[in-house]
Amino acid sequence: MSYKLTKLIANLNKQEARNFKIYASRFASPTGNKKLIQLFDHIRKYGKDEYDNVLIQKLFPDNSKNSYYRLKNRLIRDIEDSLAQLHRHKDDEFLIYQYLQLAKVNTFKSNFEEANYYLIKAETLATKQENYALLNVVYEKQLQIAHHIHLPDLPNIILKYKENDHLTSLTKDSNLLRANLVQKLRRTNFSGKENEITKLLDEHISQLQEENALLQSQKVRFQINKSIRNVLLQKKDFEGLLNFSVSSYQEFLSEKIFDRSNHEEKILMLVWINNAIIKTKRPSMFGQYTQELEVALNEYNDLLHDKYIWLLYQNKVIYYTFSNQHQVAIDLLEKIKQERLIKDNINHLIFTYLNLSSLYYLTNELNKAIQNLAFIIINPAFNSLSEEWKLRIRLLEVMLRFDNTEYEYSKNRIKEIKRKHGKMLNKKEYAHENNFLSLLTQVIKKVRTQFPPELKTKIDDFINNALPFEPGSNELINYAFWLQAKLNNQKYMDMLPKIFA
């Protein structure tokens, strides 16, 4: 079952839901409109799903499933139409498609001059957006029109088509390479475990810089900027990343490059700056760029607010956590986990609960830490997480259960981790996690006795060989600090450095 309608309605924000009701009253046919709104309300307000037999019976007492499915498909179509109508002015690309549609309508009617008029308007916008793929569509349609009417500018259209086709090919290759890189980066959660990624990023930058025509493009400048940031991230050169991100952002500001069409790039650059500030432990800079990010999210009538508000929340939670404002971070997370934007995005919701689990652990509220983590592990979406994240979450559960004196349970979970993640743990890049799991096993075995000297030596070696502490790293609870706390018979929180204190 796809639950297409249920998901579609769940993802509507208040403005979109209200707009649909208006759209349905204005444009939907009166026949059956009452049932259409009833079906919408039962799913939206009362939490029913589209396959609920009680719901079908309520709308169609004769249990006519064919009538119900026709109603359901009509509701999907009307919601999609209302969304397209509501958002048609939010991006110039929508307008390009509208001009292409109008050109097609006029071509059907043999109004070829009118069709060309709309194609010229589409070309103007696509050129401004540097949307080479849509420019190719425009030129192809103009060449088709040239079979029906005389176009005085035809030689220039052919020339532009050839030049644009070359740029389209170059940007397509670049986009394919970037897509491959992003997939690899997400797989490692930007952890720098694969040297191959840095090599590919260097090749990508060189490829872009060799094409003079592309270097004049704002889009390509943004692409090069992203690639350089990713190289610095993979090399863990956080000082270089911060300096480059701030200087390039200020450069784009001074050149007045940012506008509605590339507003997303501005937001992402600010997110990168804030992340680099956290990594380099520069609290004095955090307030300025967090404020700029909040302002940017509200620009152009909240154009991208819903899409990126989660990243602002992430930045704030990390900052509060490592400035010893744990309760502030908890209050923020408890608040946002009730917001529809977060509740309707299972990935955001999972990481909200994950952060809550870690923070409740820091405030010695172990039961709440375990409860929040349990929500993640029993959630069906847990299985869709990457193998690395599943490993880290399972390791966190063992640590929490151990501190809750559930030793037998912890032993069983370790066996499960070895069974499910053994292949990955045997890889060289996961030696740190594998060593920690081995030490964790021994610590549990010796929990009721003093650690023998050889175990203490192994723990000391692990701590000394651990990478320097990084706020916001993939380790949900720092393994070295956790072991140090056990060795010293102290609380984990006492081991944690006050990064922004």
Confidence of residue 493 (pLDDT cuts 50, 70, 90): confident
In a domain, 267, yes or no: no
> How remote is the C-alpha of 367 from its chain's centroid?
30
Q: Is the pLDDT of residue 55 over 90?
A: no
pLDDT at 23 over 60: yes
Query: What pLDDT, on a 0 to 100 scale, did the predictor assign at position 192?
Result: 46
Backbone angles phi, psi at 128, to 5 degrees: -60, -40
Token digits for 47? 């939490």
Report helix, strand or coil for 325: coil
Do residues 35 and 59 both lie within one domain? yes
Residues 174-202: pLDDT tens digits? 666 666 656 665 555 444 444 555 565 56
Judge if 66 and 116 occupy the same domain: no
pLDDT band at 322 (very low <50, low <70, confident <90, very high): confident
CA end-to-end span of the chain: 51
- Residue 488, domain extent: 386-501
Is it the case that residue 227 has pLDDT exceeding 70? yes
Distance of alpha carbon 82 from the chain centroid? 25
Mean pLDDT along residues 290-318: 92
Asked if residue 347 is part of any domain, the answer here is no
- Which is higher by pLDDT, 324 or 159? 159
Distance CA 131, CA 125 (A): 9
Q: Does residue 479 sit in the same domain as residue 418?
A: yes
Q: Are residues 10 and 121 in the same domain?
A: no
Q: Would you call 129 helix, strand, or coil by DSSP? A: helix
Residues 64, 21 within the same domain: yes
Same domain, 104 and 82: no
pLDDT at 440: 94
Distance CA 2, CA 499 (A): 46
* pLDDT of res. 71: 92
Q: Are residues 76 and 118 in the same domain?
A: no
The distance from CA 190 to its chain's CA centroid, rounded to whole angstroms, is 13
pTM of structure: 0.66
| pLDDT grade for 211, boundaries at 50, 70 and 90 | low
Residue 204 lies in a domain: no
| The pLDDT value given to residue 319 | 86
The answer on pLDDT for 120 being more than 70 is yes
- Give the residue from 114, 129, 152 where a domain finishes: 152
Residues 429 and 495 in one domain: yes
Q: 111: helix, coil or strand?
A: coil
Q: What is the pLDDT of residues 138-157, one digit of tens each?
A: 999 999 999 999 999 999 99
Q: Which of 29-33, 312-316, 356-360 has the lowest mean pLDDT?
A: 29-33
Measured in degrees and rounded to the nearest 5, phi and psi for residue 12 equal -75, 135
- Asked whether residue 303 is domain-assigned, the answer is no
**Cβ partners under 8 Å of residue 290, min gap 6:** 274, 312, 315, 316, 319
* Whether residues 35 and 133 fall in one domain: no
Please give the share of the chain, as a percent, with pLDDT higher than 70: 88
Domain tally for the chain?
A: 3
Q: Same domain, yes or no, for 75 and 103?
A: no
Same domain, 411 and 494: yes
pLDDT computed for residue 190 by the predictor: 45
Instruction: Indicate whether 53 and 99 sit together in one domain.
Output: no
Higher pLDDT, 259 or 64: 259
Torsion of CA 482, 486, 487, 488, to 10 degrees: 100
Query: Mean pLDDT in the chain?
Result: 86
User: Taken in order 356, 361, 362, 363, is the CA torsion positive or negative?
Assistant: positive
More confident residue, 232 or 419: 419
Q: Which of 86, 111, 137 is the last residue before a domain boundary?
A: 86
Highest mean pLDDT among 179-193, 399-413, 475-489: 399-413
pLDDT at 189: 47
With contact defined as beta carbons under 8 Å apart, do 313 and 336 qualify?
yes
Last residue of some domain: 86, 104, 128?
Answer: 86
Per-residue pLDDT at 207: 60
pLDDT 10s digits, 337-351 = 998 888 878 788 888
